[in-house]
Every structure is written in C-alpha cells, then in structure tokens.
Amino acid sequence: MPTHRLARTALPSLALTAAALTTLAVAPPASGAPGGAPGGAPGQRATVELSADPAELDLVPLPCFPADLDVTMTNTGDQARFADTLLTADPPLTLSRDVFSSYLPATDPDQPVSVPVEVRAPRGTPPGTYEVLLELERQRVSVPVHVASPPPKGPGDNLALGEEPIASSTHGNFSACGGLDGNTDHAQWSTRTGWNDGTPAVFPDTYGVRLPEARTVEEVSVLTLDSAGSPAERFGLRDWDVQVLTDDGWHTVAEVRGNTAGLVTTRFEPTTARAVQLVVHGTNDARYSRVMELEVRGG
Ligand SMILES: [Ca+2]
C-alpha cells in the first residue's frame, strides 16, 4: 500500500477521505498552533511517516489464528528523534502492544523502524469488519480487520483446528499453534506450520489440544514431518500414546509403536474429553518430536 503524502495546505475534506481509506501521513490544518512537529524546527512538517503492513487483515476468532501486523515509523527528516505510536483496536479485538516507542535515526536513505503486532479476536467475536487504529501525533492509520466465521466443529469436523495448544516445550523457531493451523503442506515445514519440541534427545514430549468444551472424540490423526528431503522414517514420530482428558484425568486410549509413516490415524471408543494429547516416547532421529498437524474427530 503506498503512503500518501498530502501537502499541509490540502483541503480538509480530501484529508478526511484519505484517512478513511488508507495509510496517511499528513499534518491537517492546525487549530491555532504555530505548526511544526515536536522535535522539529518551527514551521517544519511532521518528519515521521507511519505505516502498517498489510493494509488490511483477515482474522478467525480462535486461539491459534491471530493475525500479524507490522507497524513502521520512518524518520524522513534530517534530525534524529524519538516517536511514539499509540495502538488501539475496536473491542473485543486485542493487540499484543498498545504503544510503539522508538529512537528514529536521521539517515539517508531513510531507515524504517518496524515492530510486529499480534491482533486477536476472542472466541465468539461476531463476524464483521473492525478497526485497528495507529496514531502518531496528528497522523492516523486505520487498518480494517475482517473477522470471519469460525470453521465448523460438528461431527466429522476437525475439532482441534485453531484451538489452544498443549506443548511440553516448543523449539524457538516454531509455534505451538503450528500443528493446529490446518496447514498440512510438508514442504512448508520450515515456515513454522508445525510443532517441533525444544528438548533435543530428551523424551517424553507432549503435544496436544485443549477443546473449548467437552466433546465426544473417537479418532486422532497425527501427521508427522514427511517431506521429500525429510521422510517420516528418518525424522518422524516413532512411538507415542494418544491420551484424552476426562473429568478424572488423562487416559491412554491408543498406543503407536515403531511408526515410519507420515500419517497415522487411530480410532478408539467414543469418549467425552476436554483435551487430547500425544505423549511421544521416541522419534526416528532420536532427537526431536515433529508434528505437522494434529487432528481430532468425533460425534
Ligand atoms: Ca500445520
């Protein structure tokens, strides 16, 4: 999305239209103030540009489906300075930070300073378009956030999709949500769509999912890493138990031993469970537990 720069003398109506549409770096007519951005010389325009990437976000109101926004401040002036951007979101959306403060060096070419911001919609957020607003002095950047309906969770659907992960540890390059994100493309393993434990050569590891309410479960599918360069027989899970959490604790409902396949589906007596987890006792490289996706189904 381009950054629109409007002259200070731009018509107010034009500035308002632009503000409603996109990234805006503009100093609208001041009301009595002699002008000049804080830290700048009198009469000088604001020298920090504010932008957001992407310009719009799509969001699913489930624990493992946050959206990421990069907020950037760029000092376009010739004096180093500090700047603060305030971040707010329409309720019930939440942000991982509400202020972005940074020292902004004056360099040529300009040096953008960015920070990632996680945007979340809690379960039950009605579908619709919400706003994340960034404010830096007189600048306003509005980011529309489109909240979709959550995926269906009826009989036969994957009850684990997007729900809260359980992990005994997680390798720093991965996210515990990677095995619950619906992405089963093994070629994208290195882009974090999977869970990798963080305790090499130490077992057991546990990985699972907490359901939002007790459900009848009867089938668990485990996709372990199985790409062309990293086949399951060398890098996948080998030995694990499938456990379900009922009112009186965890119960093992299936055991898998000596596995070399990329996909293993186990079925068991229908059980009312609030969570499902794998307890991994060994892997084919005797080092890391790698789950591309965990799927849970039932009535
Ligand atoms: Ca995945």
Task: List, for residues 195-217, the tens digit of each pLDDT value.
Answer: 999 999 999 999 999 999 999 99
pLDDT of residue 192: 79
Any domain includes 270: yes
**Spatial contact of 133 and 88, defined as CB atoms under 8 Å apart:** yes
d(CA 18, CA 228): 49
pLDDT of residue 13: 37
Supply the pTM of this predicted model: 0.80
Ligand 1 centre distance from Cα of residue 127 (Å): 24
In this structure, what CATH number is given to the domain that contains residue 133?
Answer: 2.60.40.10
Ligand 1 centre distance from Cα of residue 64 (Å): 11
CA-angle at 65, arms to 61 and 70, nearest 5°: 110
* 72 has pLDDT over 90: yes
Query: Is residue 186 located within the same domain as residue 228?
Result: yes
Ligand 1 centre distance from Cα of residue 8 (Å): 48
pLDDT of residue 190: 81
pLDDT of residue 40: 44
Give the count of domains, the chain. Answer: 2
First to last CA, the chain: 45
Element spanning 194, H or E: none
Which tens digits make up the pLDDT trace of 215-265? 999 999 999 999 999 999 999 999 999 999 999 999 999 999 999 999 999
* Residues near ion ligand 1 (Cβ under 5 Å): 181, 183, 193, 293
Domain of 139? 4-24+38-147
